[in-house]
Amino acid sequence: MAALSMRRRFATWSAAALVVLSGVVGAQSPSPSQTLPLPGPESGQRELVVVAHGLGRSTWSMRPMTKALEKAGYDVMPFGYSSYCCSIAEIGTKLQRRIDERMTPQHTRVHFVGHSLGNIIVRWVLTRDTLPERVGRVVMLAPPNQGAHAANTFNPWFGWLLRPMRELQADTAATVRKLPPVRVGEIGVIAARDDRTVKVPETMLPEARAHVEVPGGHSFIMRRDDVHALTVQFLRTGQFTDSVARAAPPPF
């Protein structure tokens, strides 16, 4: 009975930690924000957008962003992966193969939109010698570009379960801190002002062209209408317009 009780307690602790690590603790579903106009695709163009989710999530978590990008006229490729089996390099290699399979001569460019860990996988792909063809722009949502101290806190306990976690630590030896600069495309970063999983300073990237903050936390940043509008705007123009950023609703 004692052994059974211990196993149950461990399972409970594990589940709680996964919730914290995915940024759900203390977060709520965002209140509806005003609908912002999304510019449509240019006539005759077909651009591919690769969408990569975060640690412990699935493609379903990025569904609101995927729908917004499709509404804007993009061909969207949701990229799913397991956070439990593979390193960043192994996941990145899988992403490279998927892009090669999906890209066609009709795709004039390939863009990337990522959340949290998904951005680090994209960075890994874009710093390899075998780059995808016709790389366009990258929008990073709450990316742990400088590593995340939350990963340092939980890695001793749960790094064995979530393999990429140790690579996201705020440590000079961590994979995320050793990636070379991205020399292709243009990068825009959208940080969550009240993020307790990836702090705003941890989202910074020297080669990023633009950086903007929106209210809210880590878990649901990809569900915000203002973030959808900012993402499409950067993919179109390579910049964030102040008027769109200021249109963000109050923190939820």
Q: Render pLDDT for 95-149 as a digit per residue (tens, 0 to 9).
A: 999 999 999 999 999 999 999 999 999 999 999 998 899 999 999 999 999 999 9
Is 19 inside a domain boundary?
no
- The closest alpha carbon to 224, from 200, 196, 188, 251, belongs to 251
pLDDT greater than 50 at residue 28: no
- The closest alpha carbon to 219, from 13, 29, 48, belongs to 29
pLDDT greater than 80 at residue 21: no
Mean pLDDT computed over every residue of the chain: 84
pLDDT at position 40, please? 42
Q: What is the number of structural domains in the chain?
A: 1
Provide the residue range defining the domain that includes 90: 42-246
Of the pLDDT bands very low, low, confident and very high (cuts 50, 70, 90), residue 248 is very low
Is 213 inside a domain boundary?
yes
Q: Render pLDDT for 204-218 as a digit per residue (tens, 0 to 9).
A: 999 999 999 999 999
Of the pLDDT bands very low, low, confident and very high (cuts 50, 70, 90), residue 244 is low
For residue 231, the domain's CATH number is 3.40.50.1820
Is 216 inside a domain boundary?
yes
Is 95 inside a domain boundary?
yes
How many other C-beta atoms lie within 10 A of the C-beta of residue 140? 28
* Measured CA angle at 123 (ends 96, 143), to 5 deg: 130
Is 30 inside a domain boundary?
no
Residues 242, 226: Cα–Cα separation, whole Å: 12
User: CB of 144 within 8 A of CB of 199?
Assistant: no
pLDDT at position 160, please? 74
- Burial-class residue 90 by CB neighbours within 10 Å (0-12, 13-18, 19+): middle
Is 16 inside a domain boundary?
no
Is 26 inside a domain boundary?
no
Is 144 inside a domain boundary?
yes
pLDDT greater than 90 at residue 222: yes
